[in-house]
């Protein structure tokens, strides 16, 4: 039965998904911990958590519609715009390839053995320490200042690093942004490339997960999913705009400390039996 409490949880989890999806803090980890500590195990459970991620992806498509549309219409052209469109498309496909292959091979193992609060909290702490380290040793000057300058070879390396985020708590955004920066990509461009790479990666992951969880979906649950989806879409619009401005002025150190605090607090709560 759909209750006001479930709708409230749907809104809260929609906000949580959108607020963390594109930040280097792991949205999957936050959703899992919220589900564990909030007890959001009722209908539609995992299906809800999977479906609302599409709301965040839709926000990227809306915010970067101009870029995506021009890539689409310029793709067949033989001029400079056409070559840039094909380079961009090839880079996104190359970046997506490692996750697509490993995701299909390891999906069952990951969901069976790694989707646990302990793993999430541990990886939040470890990831925070890694971000602190990389912010200290990153290259003084970047060599890539234009998203169209990311070729398929560089994108493939970034995509390989993205695979680290298959472990819940690592953060897809964190792995791709910090990985791209480590490989010489400007901070802002690394962040925007992470946005674009999220589109095929998350759509593929969500499609696979929804197919596997299709038997759990009920007609009466669609309203709850819709609330979470719309909430995630609206909040993601705000978060993505804010993040682009943030990275132009700041480092990711604040997110590193946030991860360490949340992960440590989570481990403490779990040790106390929560």
User: How many helices and strands, by DSSP H and E, does the chain display?
Assistant: 12, 0
pTM given for the model = 0.89
**Dist CA 244 CA 233 (whole Å):** 17
pLDDT of res. 137: 77
pLDDT of res. 88: 96
pLDDT of res. 42: 44
Tell me the C-alpha to C-alpha distance, in Å, between residue 225 and each of 1, 116, 150.
Answer: 14, 23, 36
Asked if residues 24 and 131 have their Cβ atoms less than 8 Å apart, the reply is: yes
**Dist CA 188 CA 186 (whole Å):** 6
| Tens-binned pLDDT, residue by residue, of the chain (274 aa) | 567 777 787 888 889 888 998 999 998 888 888 877 766 544 445 667 677 888 899 999 999 999 999 999 999 998 989 999 999 999 999 999 999 999 888 877 887 888 889 999 999 999 999 999 988 876 556 788 999 999 999 999 999 999 999 999 999 999 999 999 999 999 999 999 999 999 998 888 778 777 777 676 666 677 888 888 899 999 999 999 999 889 878 899 999 999 999 999 999 999 998 8
pLDDT of res. 123: 97
SS3 category, 237? helix
Domain coordinates of the chain in residue numbers?
A: 4-271
């Amino acid at each position: 039965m759909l209750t006001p409490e479930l709708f409230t949880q749907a809104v809260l989890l929609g906000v949580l998904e959108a607020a963390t999806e594109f930040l280097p803090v792991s949205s999957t980890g936050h959703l899992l911990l919220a589900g564990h500590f909030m007890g959001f195990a009722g209908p539609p459970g995992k299906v809800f958590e999977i479906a609302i991620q599409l709301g965040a992806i839709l926000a990227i498509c809306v915010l970067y519609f101009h870029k995506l549309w021009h890539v689409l219409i310029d793709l067949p052209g033989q001029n400079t715009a056409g070559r840039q469109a094909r380079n961009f498309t090839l880079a996104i496909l190359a970046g997506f390839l490692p996750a697509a292959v490993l995701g299909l091979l390891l999906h069952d193992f990951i969901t069976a053995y790694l989707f646990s609060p302990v793993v999430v909290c541990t990886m939040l702490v470890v990831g925070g320490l890694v971000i602190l380290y990389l912010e200290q040793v990153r290259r003084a000057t970047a060599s890539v200042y234009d998203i169209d300058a990311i070729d398929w070879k560089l994108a493939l390396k970034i995509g390989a690093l993205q695979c680290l985020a298959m472990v819940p708590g690592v953060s897809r955004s964190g792995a791709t942004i910090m990985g791209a920066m480590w490989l010489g990509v400007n901070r802002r461009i690394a962040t925007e490339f992470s946005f674009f790479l999220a589109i095929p990666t998350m759509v593929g992951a969500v499609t696979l997960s929804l197919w596997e969880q299709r038997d759990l979906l009920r007609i009466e649950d669609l309203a709850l999913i819709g609330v979470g989806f719309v909430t995630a879409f609206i909040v993601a619009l705000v978060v993505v705009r804010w993040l682009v401005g943030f990275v132009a002025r700041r480092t990711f150190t604040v997110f590193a400390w946030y991860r360490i605090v949340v992960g440590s607090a989570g481990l403490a709560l779990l040790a106390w039996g929560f």
